[in-house]
Structure 1
Amino acid sequence: MADSSQAIAALIESRPPATDKFTYLTIVEKFLSPAVLPTLNDVLQDPSLTQEIGWDLVDMLVPLPGCEPCLETVARLGNPRETILKVLETMEGLQDAGASEQDGEGSEDDGDDEAETAKAAPAKTTQEVTRRFIILLGMLAILHKRIKTKYPSRFLATSLLTIYKTYQPNQEMTASVINLVHSLSALSGQPFRPALPTRKSSIEVANPDRRGDSSKNAPDPEAEGEEELPKETEIQRRLLLSFTSCVLESYVNANDMQWSRRLLEFYNPEKIVPGRITATQAFREDEELANRDSMVGKLVALTRDLGLSSSRSFIQDICNGPVHRQPLRDTEDVESADDIGLSTGGTICLLAYWVFSSTVFEAHQPEPEMHIFPDHHALLENYLGENAQEQILANPANVESILVLGLWLQENRLLTAPGTEAAFMAYHHALTLCAVFHPSVYVRNAAVTLAGLVLHDDPDDADRLKILEDLLENCVFATLKACALTWLREELISAQKSKSNNVFSNTQCIEQLQYHIFPNLVETLKQAGPEALLEYWIDNSAFLLQAVNFAYFLFASDTCKDVVPDATGAAVEQRYVEPLLTAAAQLEERLKKDAEGDNTAQSLLLDLDILQTRLKEVPLH
């Protein structure tokens, strides 16, 4: 390879008209290296040359360290239409690089050196993809401002879709997206206000559109004679808003915000374990976590500056309309801004952030104009759709955001809108699906908490009992049936304290539920072999342990002296306690043989010991 002085000389001496543009591009490609970039940038200051060859240089330059000045010059002087197409083509190549990175992750079975290399390679690839993405977005911010056409929204729609397909929700890419939307706000007729002070963030990326000199921008050589259509301004604003809603959804789904956990810590400080670091503290003290809050705050601020300052315009859409998962796919050649949808998940995350930040951070945010009934109920069922489990697992942050919104509505007593009938059982059922299927234990806890609060808010005591009976009789999930016993206990205590005259203050409740709580286990457990017995215990231990605790509460507490029917204790002992104790002893004997070195067996033995001890303590006579 020729040294840098020879390469520099070749670039200078062979400039057109000394050669034609195709020959010169070949020469540039041959001698291109980081060392010649300053010289190439000087050469590109010739607008007529850059207009001819600039777009062809994009994919050559972007891999090179230090290419930014040259590509900024290309963005300012090159043909904007051709250069945009080349930038988007290059960006699409980044999608392939990201996919290759995921496919090429190393196995844990590799040797130590090979494993370390395998771990380092994807991280390096991610950094490189991110670097190129940021550079290309910086170019697009400049290029879109230069296009003069009747329909600039058509160029913008194509760019935003490609950007979103390439976007990975890390901090640097997200900061770059925020820069882009800020830069393109002028296209929407809404230049941004100066940003309000936010929580300190260490994430900053280059923004050539803002730090550069826009007076150097060359005019669009293909500018159309007709002016931009008036409706284009609103269409471009809506495109940017739709894009931002999609990015917000992606970012929140990829970066665990723990909104529900932090909101519950705020609402229930008495339940915080002393000495344990709370999620609220972690997000305040850990820089990476604090940056997540800062980034979401900036994305939310973008939606406000793009005109989304109240929920009135989209509450009905997300509660009752079709769920828009990829709204950017349908934005080319739209006739009006009304044809452009927002991401349903993104707007749900926006609502959740509004209520979360206004509560925990005391931020000034719009207040969602909705109630649990009918709005939140409709939102939950509309979003979960026909296959709730699939949606919960695929979009965990969106589901958490719905629960955060529900917790806020319940806390603020926004229960039932005037003239609305509250469907407590159906709503409770939807909440319990979240409590069962969500992958995060903290979000499951939030779902359970909200379900319990809403159950107790049902003004009809017979309806509350019906919901509990349905869970205890028909639910196949032991943990959820255990929750039902907790809620039942709370109802009994509440009725006693308030001296209520309802189904929870007399024997009707226990008469109706006792066989669901304490079923006849004589035949069930007597006929079970060793394997079936173990399977029964694994499937039902959470409920069995809670049922034993409930039995102690029921028969030993003064709270329940007026609600337990006569002779219930003896009947429960015969059909439930005795066969359960016998089966537990048999299972314990078997597990002790396998317990040494087996953590699972030891855990099962511990639970069995607790069960037997507690059962023997229940005063049934």
Structure 2
Amino acid sequence: MAAPESDNPLIKALPPETDYISYLTIVEHYLTEDNLPVLHKVLQDQTLTTNIGWDLVHLLAPLLPKSSECLQDIARLGNPREVILKVTESLRLIDYGLIDDPEDGLEKTESGASKQPLRTAATEGSSSEPTHAVEAFPALPLQVSQFIALLSMLSILHKRIRTKFPSRFLSTTLQAVLASFSNSITHREDMIVAIVQFVKSVQGIQRPALPSRKSSGTMQKALSSATSTNAADPEADTTSSASPEDSAIQTKLWQSFVTHVLEEYMLNIPASDDAPGLAWCSRIQERLHPARVIPHTTTITSRFADEEHLHIRFDAVAQLGMLAKDLRIEDSDVLAAATAAEDLPTTTSDEDDPPNSAADIPLSRIGSLLLYAGRQAASVLYQPEPSAGTDLISLFPTHFTILQNCLSPPASGTGTLGTEPYALIDACLTLGLLCLEYNHIGSPDSDEDFNQYLQLTALLSSNCPSPNLRGHAHYLTTTVLRSQPDAEVRLAFIRDTLEHCPFENLKVSAVGWMKGETLEAVFSEDENSAKTSIFATPKALESLSPFLFPSVEADLLTPPVSAAYMTFAAKLSFYLASMNFLYPLIVAPPMRQLLNIQQWWKSSGIMADFVQPLKKAAQRFGAALGANGELGEESSDEAIAELAVLDDVTARVEGAAAKLG
């Protein structure tokens, strides 16, 4: 027979039998999961909970989810000022590194949660034979449950405090929540749901939450608000309410907090080459240009609707976006933050020194950019008639400024541009593509600004690891280059890229730009345009020849074969692009006539310096890649095929050149 509840040490030692400090020690000694119902009853005594509640937070957090009722009691009845300090401290102490990896063999969602396979369960009152399948989601890790439960407590505590300066408590709380969220690794979408509900609860926002994926019962229980009456603030300032200045500080704190959470979440979305970030670029292109979608392929738009890990990613960002709207974060506010020239103050200042005014509280620069890009993308993706917002920026100067401010700075070197998180690059490119779609080009202040803009987007097309984003960056670069009406400026940019760019794949793009410009100028139906364009004259080709068709003997024929082959392999795509441009120059009669190809060919030395050394190099490497050659270890079907392609194109160029006479 179980011992009567009156014999429980937590009952027997209740004050006045012991003082509060002694009773707290007894609770700590006897606190177990089995004793939680008894403690829950004990904590209904407001005087007791006011005196000891704040010291119980760190004891009860490890016992979640079973201790959630006790934590709610402390939030309702404890001294709110003291309890808030303990809750924020506990948030910072959560060690997410202790979360075990989901069990092997289980399907994982992107948030890190494991999804149990379908299993059968018996209907109540029936035999033990299974009758239907149910989908079971495992309980959340303890650390995530702690985060959610502590935010639920904060939702109660902040509404209880009555003071002249509530922003001082709010500043400390939001910094702790953001720091804890930043340290998390998995289940971030579950945590965002808790964050959104926390903000709505404290702010009194009534908008219903967006439909979300199924969550564990643990989470739902932790998020349920207590319906019991909350105690008053025992230290309340009854003489005065918060001033308008402090209210403005609170509003700005909430707004800044949401932009920082958005930044933290999106910049840490797992990298995916085919669905980077929210894939706004690809989904916008699919919406506006359905004819470009390859038939019978799965679109990225449908994947975001059908694949769970992409759907919950979208859902998390959508909830933060709606919350930003509820907090009245205007487009003008986020644009000002994203384009601010000065360094913004950090949000990690000493918590003992809270902000003195709303102006001291910055929105996140990157979070603001992501929010603005998301809003503009939504105006295209989710409206019956796609149309960018009326306040859509222009390429010049605003998008140019955003690229300069939000991507890797020049001081860090060109090699780092394009290595930013995919979601950030996708957002930057999205705005650029929308500017092109709706003809928001603007006018650069100078040719230098135009060239710098192209350099930024071209480097993205070269450096970014994601082929999806590289393609969008290349399209943006090429289209913006073509938008420049001055052919001299376009030629100068192409030359600068060929002459100075250290990235071979970007030089390949430059060859393509030159080829496109030349073909369009020579074969233009507008005779006046053909006559006036520098690309329809020998001047453009002559000025770029040393960079389009450089002398390669010193690189490919003089060094040892292994070193020469490394150079050859790195530059092969450029060599092939240049040869494929050279061939139509020689064989197309309009080009031969307008560009004076015969004279150019005789004086340029391209055959001796470029074509023949490439042919000899291919023969040299072909022999070295043989079974007994120096490059035998490098031999592969791909390597042999690449040499065959080069042999073919050099043979065609030699044959066409022989006919020039």
What's the TM-score, normalizing by structure 2?
Answer: 0.83
Partner of 1:611: 646
The answer (yes or no) to whether the contact 2:457–2:473 under 8 Å persists in 1 is yes
Q: Does the C-alpha gap of structure 1 residues 242 and 399 become closer, same or farther in structure 2, counting only changes over 3 Å? A: same
Q: CA deviation at 1:542?
A: 2.1
Letter matched to residue 387 of structure 1: S
* Structure 1 residues without counterparts, runs of 5 or longer: 107-111, 114-120, 187-191
Q: Distance in 1 between matches of 2:538 and 2:337?
A: 46
Partner of 1:470: 496
Partner of 1:236: 250
Q: CA deviation at 1:55?
A: 0.8
Are positions 1:182 and 2:200 aligned together? Answer: yes
Letter matched to residue 573 of structure 1: M
Q: Distance in 2 between matches of 1:441 and 1:544?
A: 21
Q: Distance in 1 between matches of 2:388 and 2:84?
A: 37
Alignment of 1:26-37 (within 5 A): 26-37=25-36
2:314 alignment partner, SS class: helix
Are positions 1:372 and 2:370 aligned together? Answer: no
The answer (yes or no) to whether the contact 2:556–2:568 under 8 Å persists in 1 is no
Q: 1:359 aligns with which of 362, 371, 380?
A: 380
Q: 2:541 aligns with which of 502, 505, 510?
A: 510
Letter matched to residue 172 of structure 1: D
Q: Does the C-alpha gap of structure 1 residues 597 and 540 become closer, same or farther in structure 2, counting only changes over 3 Å? A: closer
The answer (yes or no) to whether the contact 2:194–2:223 under 8 Å persists in 1 is no
The answer (yes or no) to whether the contact 1:594–1:601 under 8 Å persists in 2 is no
Q: Which has the higher mean CA deviation after the structures are superposed, 82-91 or 316-325?
A: 316-325
Q: Distance in 1 between matches of 2:19 and 2:251?
A: 42
Are positions 1:272 and 2:293 aligned together? Answer: yes
Partner of 2:9: 10
Q: Distance in 2 between matches of 1:326 and 1:4?
A: 57
Q: Does the C-alpha gap of structure 1 residues 594 and 410 become closer, same or farther in structure 2, counting only changes over 3 Å? A: farther
Are positions 1:497 and 2:513 aligned together? Answer: no
The answer (yes or no) to whether the contact 1:554–1:564 under 8 Å persists in 2 is no
Q: 1:321 aligns with which of 322, 337, 341?
A: 341
Letter matched to residue 622 of structure 2: E
Q: CA deviation at 1:568?
A: 4.0
Q: CA deviation at 1:395?
A: 4.3
Q: Does the C-alpha gap of structure 1 residues 10 and 295 become closer, same or farther in structure 2, counting only changes over 3 Å? A: same
Are positions 1:461 and 2:475 aligned together? Answer: no
Partner of 2:19: 20
Q: Distance in 1 between matches of 2:350 and 2:391?
A: 28
Q: CA deviation at 1:162?
A: 1.1
The answer (yes or no) to whether the contact 2:345–2:362 under 8 Å persists in 1 is no
Q: Distance in 1 between matches of 2:628 and 2:113?
A: 42
The answer (yes or no) to whether the contact 1:485–1:546 under 8 Å persists in 2 is yes
Q: 1:432 aligns with which of 445, 449, 458?
A: 458
Partner of 1:537: 568
Q: CA deviation at 1:146?
A: 0.8
Q: 2:419 aligns with which of 380, 384, 393?
A: 393
Q: Does the C-alpha gap of structure 1 residues 83 and 553 become closer, same or farther in structure 2, counting only changes over 3 Å? A: farther
> Residue deviations 1:227-259, cap 9 Å, x none?
222212111111011010001111111223222
Partner of 2:229: 216
The answer (yes or no) to whether the contact 1:264–1:446 under 8 Å persists in 2 is no
The answer (yes or no) to whether the contact 1:242–1:328 under 8 Å persists in 2 is no
Letter matched to residue 511 of structure 2: L
Q: Does the C-alpha gap of structure 1 residues 372 and 175 become closer, same or farther in structure 2, counting only changes over 3 Å? A: same
* Structure 2 residues without counterparts, runs of 5 or longer: 105-111, 115-137, 270-276
Letter matched to residue 602 of structure 1: D
> Residue deviations 1:525-573, cap 9 Å, x none?
3312212211211221221222222223433446644335324456432
> Residue deviations 1:112-169, cap 9 Å, x none?
99xxxxxxx9999982221111111111111111111111111111111111111037
Q: Distance in 2 between matches of 1:371 and 1:199?
A: 35
Letter matched to residue 457 of structure 1: S
Q: Distance in 2 between matches of 1:358 and 1:254?
A: 25
The number of residues matched between the two structures is 595
The answer (yes or no) to whether the contact 1:249–1:343 under 8 Å persists in 2 is yes
2:627 alignment partner, SS class: helix
Q: 2:325 aligns with which of 298, 301, 304?
A: 304
Letter matched to residue 401 of structure 1: A
> Residue deviations 1:580-616, cap 9 Å, x none?
0110121122123389997874333322222222222
Q: Distance in 2 between matches of 1:194 and 1:594?
A: 74
Partner of 1:189: none
Alignment of 1:47-66 (within 5 A): 47-64=46-63, 65-66=65-66
Partner of 1:79: 79
Q: Distance in 1 between matches of 2:380 and 2:4?
A: 63
The answer (yes or no) to whether the contact 1:68–1:135 under 8 Å persists in 2 is yes
Are positions 1:202 and 2:236 aligned together? Answer: no
> Residue deviations 1:249-306, cap 9 Å, x none?
1111122322233334444444433333232221121022011112111111111111
The answer (yes or no) to whether the contact 1:91–1:163 under 8 Å persists in 2 is yes
Q: Distance in 2 between matches of 1:259 and 1:323?
A: 28
> Residue deviations 1:75-118, cap 9 Å, x none?
01111111111111111111xx23566xx999xxxxx99xxxxx
Q: Does the C-alpha gap of structure 1 residues 326 and 268 become closer, same or farther in structure 2, counting only changes over 3 Å? A: farther
Q: Distance in 2 between matches of 1:4 and 1:335?
A: 57
Q: CA deviation at 1:40?
A: 1.2
> Residue deviations 1:494-519, cap 9 Å, x none?
33235323012222221221221111
The answer (yes or no) to whether the contact 1:105–1:122 under 8 Å persists in 2 is no
Q: CA deviation at 1:33?
A: 2.0
2:535 alignment partner, SS class: coil
Are positions 1:578 and 2:612 aligned together? Answer: yes
Q: Distance in 1 between matches of 2:70 and 2:44?
A: 9
Letter matched to residue 69 of structure 2: P
Identical aligned residues as a percent = 30
Are positions 1:159 and 2:186 aligned together? Answer: no
Q: 2:474 aligns with which of 438, 443, 448?
A: 448
Q: Distance in 1 between matches of 2:446 and 2:249?
A: 39
Q: Distance in 2 between matches of 1:39 and 1:288?
A: 41
Q: Distance in 2 between matches of 1:325 and 1:392?
A: 25
Partner of 2:405: 382
Q: CA deviation at 1:3?
A: 8.3
Q: Which has the higher mean CA deviation after the structures are superposed, 432-441 or 475-484?
A: 432-441
Q: Distance in 2 between matches of 1:590 and 1:316?
A: 60
Q: Does the C-alpha gap of structure 1 residues 329 and 397 become closer, same or farther in structure 2, counting only changes over 3 Å? A: farther
The answer (yes or no) to whether the contact 2:6–2:12 under 8 Å persists in 1 is no
1:592 alignment partner, SS class: coil
The answer (yes or no) to whether the contact 1:202–1:291 under 8 Å persists in 2 is no
The answer (yes or no) to whether the contact 2:152–2:225 under 8 Å persists in 1 is no
Q: Distance in 1 between matches of 2:474 and 2:390?
A: 24
Q: Which has the higher helix share?
A: 1
Q: Which has the higher mean CA deviation after the structures are superposed, 449-458 or 539-548?
A: 539-548
Q: Distance in 2 between matches of 1:161 and 1:207?
A: 25
Q: Distance in 2 between matches of 1:233 and 1:8?
A: 50
> Residue deviations 1:400-446, cap 9 Å, x none?
311211111122110015x9556311111121222233332222222
Q: Does the C-alpha gap of structure 1 residues 461 and 590 become closer, same or farther in structure 2, counting only changes over 3 Å? A: same
Q: Which has the higher mean CA deviation after the structures are superposed, 225-234 or 242-251?
A: 225-234
